[in-house]
Amino acid sequence: MIAFTVNGNKVRVDVAPDTPLLWVLRDTVGLTGTKYGCGIAQCGACTVHLDGEPIRSCTTPVSQAAGRQVLTIEGLSRNNSHPVQKAWIAEDVPQCGYCQSGQIMTTVALLAKIKNPSDAEIDEALAGNICRCGTYNGVRRAVHRAAKLMGA
């Protein structure tokens, strides 16, 4: 049994310790907002926070989460009230939407570190998040908008 916290709720899972956190979240815990895109930490669709740090859950064994806090897209807010979600809605960023959980989770972590990031800082922070629909310019606009909403 491996115990950790997901979005403030304690969970205990009976899985092989080398199982990637991604699949534990999706198949065992039942939170499917975190996405599988590559399985090798190349695309960022699986980004969640582990004790506040953005990580690639597809290559993070669940054993590393033991006793720690995991935050997923579902835990950001109950009603899209997180400023990053608000900014995303205001800019109507998503197209297919599949990569957006990862883009948003990376952005939340970025804004916790840098209150008002420049375009270059945004590019660097989000370099690991692939979007095939080409929403990158919308993501950039939404990051700036979210920074403003958060009082930067």
List for the chain the helix, strand, coil content (%; round to 5): 40, 15, 45
| Spatial CA neighbour of 73 closest among 116, 41, 29, 115 | 29
The least distance separating another protein from the CB of residue 80, rounded to whole angstroms, comes to 5
Dihedral sign for Cα 122, 127, 129, 133, please: positive
Residue 5 in the binding site for another protein (CB under 8 A): no
> Residues 25 to 84: which contact another protein by CB under 8 A?
26-28, 30-40, 42-43, 45, 72-74, 76-77, 80
- Give yes or no for residue 130 binding another protein (CB under 8 A): yes
List interacting residues with another protein (CB under 8 A): 15-16, 19-20, 23, 26-28, 30-40, 42-43, 45, 72-74, 76-77, 80, 85, 88-89, 92-101, 104, 122-124, 126-140
